[in-house]
Amino acid sequence: MSKTSVLTDDEIGILLTAAVHAPSMHNTQPWRFEVHGPVVDVLLDRKRLLPSEDPAGRANRIGIGAAVLNLRVAAAMLGRESRIVPDPDPNCPEVMARVFVADRRTPVPGLGSLYGELRARRTYRGPLLDQPIPPRVTGRLDEAAQAERATLRWLDADATSRLGELLRRVDEHDLHDEDRLHERLRWIGGDRSGDGIQESALGPLPTGPAFVRDLSAGSDSSHRSQAVFEDSPAIAVLCTPQEDAAAWLRAGMALERALLVATSYDLAASFLNQVLEHSPSRAAVRELVGGRCWPQMVIRLGYPAQPAHGTARRDWRDSFDRWF
């Protein structure tokens, strides 16, 4: 068997720049990378946990899965195939995924074509245009999620309105949860560079009840702009057939693949994951989507009415080690 060549410095830069553009809860960027020859290990950075809002580490793993997908997209753009082993070393649980990058030097169709969307994708928390998503496009998003062994369950009007009730109850509850509010202060609001969500990326405040999460709820928002939001956006729940650590990683890969395809159709997405951060409301969402699969992300999708503001990233070199 031929020996796979080590990744060059340029290739490592391309792969890890792509990886760090992944979405992560509160933009914590909970990853570290180690490169050994042609292998990239993606590790959990324990300094970037969210113990109050994500005690089981589910959201962390979803973010890491998204970073893995981006890495594979960049490898495919470079003409290299890649293979993933989740949790490769029981003695080293912080290694959450090992990506083997093969030597092939021909274009890898599918994934590689998404490379151009990596930097354009961003979470958009503003109002959406009153313009439905064509079924042809929702079909592409379904395929993207299925390619990573997950599914998108689209909510009908009745399920959307029941989700709205759940959101209002959870938002009200969270407003009185000091631990959560305190945790968010570390990551959300104000001016930021490197990580977290600066105020401009939070979007305008809705003038009435809306399907958007105000991540700075509970803080002073008197100076934020306001906007009229759509009544009933398209909402898809990303689901996995199982509920375990491997499924969470898969969910992140499926999420990012679907988001990159959405970006290629000029769609914008934000998330209503507060309902998945509490067991009773997560169980209720599970019922809304038929009770058989496990909801991992609640995604609001549509055509943006305003420009989106991106969030910053740490330099990939700050979370990287190389071993020969």
Ligand X SMILES: Cc1cc2nc3c(=O)[nH]c(=O)nc-3n(C[C@H](O)[C@H](O)[C@H](O)COP(=O)(O)O)c2cc1C
Can you give the binding site for ligand X, defined by CB under 6 A? 23-27, 59, 62-63, 66, 122-123, 125, 197, 213, 215, 270-274, 310-311
Q: Of 24 and 160, which CB lies nearer to ligand X in the complex structure?
A: 24
Q: Of 212 and 289, which CB lies nearer to ligand X in the complex structure?
A: 212
Q: Of 68 and 101, which CB lies nearer to ligand X in the complex structure?
A: 68
CB of 299 to ligand X, least distance (A): 10
Q: Count CB neighbours of 242 within 10 A.
A: 12
Q: Of 7 and 71, which CB lies nearer to ligand X in the complex structure?
A: 71
For the chain, report the end-to-end CA distance as a whole number of angstroms.
20
Burial of 298 (0-12, 13-18, 19+ CB in 10 A): buried
Cβ–Cβ < 8 Å for 306, 122: no
Closest CA to 204 of 126, 129, 268: 126
Residue nearest to ligand X (CB): 23
CB of 307 to ligand X, least distance (A): 12
- Cα–Cα distance, 261 to 114 (Å, whole number): 7
Radius of gyration of the chain from its Cα atoms, rounded to whole angstroms: 19
CB of 205 to ligand X, least distance (A): 13
Q: Count CB neighbours of 277 within 10 A.
A: 20
Q: Of 112 and 196, which CB lies nearer to ligand X in the complex structure?
A: 196
Stated as kind and residue range, the H or E segment containing 250 is: helix 245-264
- Cα–Cα distance, 51 to 30 (Å, whole number): 13
CB of 123 to ligand X, least distance (A): 4
3-state SS assignment for residue 69 = helix
CB of 105 to ligand X, least distance (A): 31
Q: Of 66 and 267, which CB lies nearer to ligand X in the complex structure?
A: 66
Q: Count CB neighbours of 189 within 10 A.
A: 18
3-state SS assignment for residue 15 = helix
CB of 277 to ligand X, least distance (A): 8
Q: How many helices (H) and strands (E) does the chain have?
A: 7, 11
CB of 81 to ligand X, least distance (A): 26
Q: Of 159 and 170, which CB lies nearer to ligand X in the complex structure?
A: 170
